[in-house]
Amino acid sequence: MTFSRLALATLLLVSAAAAQPPITTIQDVLYKADGTPFNGIVTISWPSFEASDLSEIAGQTITVQIENGIFRVQLVPNATTNPLVFYSAVYNSDGRIQFSESWSVPASVSSLRIRDVRAVLPIISSSSNDTTASGPVNESDVIGLVADLGSRPIKGPAYSAGRVALVNSLGSIDSVAGNSSDCVHVDGSTGSCGGGASPAYSDGEAPSGTINGVNATFTLANIPNPAASLALYRNGLLMQAGVDYTLSGQLIQFQSASIPVSGDTLLATYRLAGSASASSLLLQGPQVLCSSAGTSVNGTSFASMGTCTIPPATLQSGDRVAVRFDLQHQGTVSGYTFQVTWGSTTVLQRAGTPNDAQVTGRVDAGLDLSGAQVSSESWGTTLPLSATIGNATDAYATGLVVDFEGQLAVPGDTLTLRNYSLVRVP
């Protein structure tokens, strides 16, 4: 029985210790104005409040003795109470009250000085319930305010709303000066974009010369600089320098096996003298325009199974767009028809039998100034290989939509676009 009581008492002591609220130590040395140590007492009082760990702190008053200026006390932090409460410290020496002040004690694992807890309270009117402060509060009297204001960026003399921001040498925020068409450099200066003579490039240029299968010499409007920056396209296919043609100044000389024939289209892109960099023009790599899984249809009218919207200004003359797709037919009751449209032009359409469980297809569109030359191939489980070629006059420069559509001959089966992708090859 004695052991049980001892264990219970020990448990209560441990629980009480674990429930102790956080404590902040305030330690300082006080002096009088004549430089001698302050001797006396400090009476500290406070109202009831709730500590940060939800401990209930009862209102009370304690007296702390100060000898030879040495002061030390431990208090529960009250800086974050809601509503705010303050400790009241009244200093008494030589038999009378010398002065009083209010304290706001923050949580701290290290000792604080009295100046760290001293709070500045607004002066409250005693003639009414008006709680408006009757006097200004100095910035230096608010703990941490001066430092916080000092770390905040401020407006510089050249600050202007609606322009690119620039941090000046003093750390203030100015605005970049220049024309709306200028480019901003990392040092805040502005100038013409590209930094070289204008124009810096010639894009989509048609070399002069007769395209008849006999003439092998064509002339550019300018001399490519560097020569390796020339990208020459024939019907959307990139020609290889030294293999398909040679370049001398502005003259392009085709090899006999690569002479353009009637109906071909030649387009050239190259860098001009005065460009920002003398290095070779880096040709763009392939670009995935769309890549996704599609949806299913089971109706007897054409419905979309997936679309790819190509934004305006994405495609240009000389590009080639490679389209790939796979279809899955579920069921054996109905045949089906599928088609691919390039804008408003149907570039591929075929009909599968009930036994065609899988179908695959591809469409290649080579772009020129008037539209695109489009070729296609498709085949299935029993559907034989078929190839087509034609033209589409849709204005790709303003953007267009490639749509994959399908329909069933009779209800009961399902046709699914398993996947599709469109890749732009510049």
For the chain, the domains span 20-139, 153-193, 201-271, 287-425
- The residue written with tokens 């264990």 in the block is 7
Residue 365 has, within 13 A of its CA and on its CB side, a CA count of 31
pLDDT of residue 127: 47
Omega within 30 of 0 (cis) for the link into 199:
yes
Q: What is the CATH number of domain 287-425?
A: 2.60.120.200
pLDDT of residue 65: 94
Residue partners of 359: CB distance under 8 A and separation at least 6 = 326, 327, 329, 338, 350, 352, 378, 379, 380, 381, 383
How many whole angstroms separate alpha carbon 151 and alpha carbon 175?
20
DSSP-derived secondary structure letter, 67: B
CATH class of the region 20-139: mainly beta
pLDDT of residue 168: 83
Torsion of CA 249, 251, 257, 258, to 10 degrees: 100
pLDDT tens column, 395-423: 998 889 999 999 999 999 999 999 999 99
Average pLDDT, the chain: 85
pLDDT tens column, 12-32: 554 544 568 999 999 999 999
Nearest to 155 by CA among 175, 139, 185: 175
pLDDT of residue 10 exceeding 70, the answer is no
Torsion of CA 309, 314, 320, 326, to 10 degrees: -20
Cβ atoms of residues 37 and 68 within 8 Å: yes
Coil/strand/helix, residue 426? coil
0.75 exceeded by pTM? no
pLDDT tens column, 202-228: 888 999 999 999 999 999 999 998 888
pLDDT of residue 199 exceeding 60, the answer is no
Task: Categorize the per-residue pLDDT at 359 as very low, low, confident or very high, splitting at 50, 70 and 90.
Answer: very high
Cα 333 to Cα 61, 167, 330, distances in angstroms: 93, 72, 9
Nearest to 363 by CA among 379, 352, 380, 377: 377
Coil/strand/helix, residue 212? coil
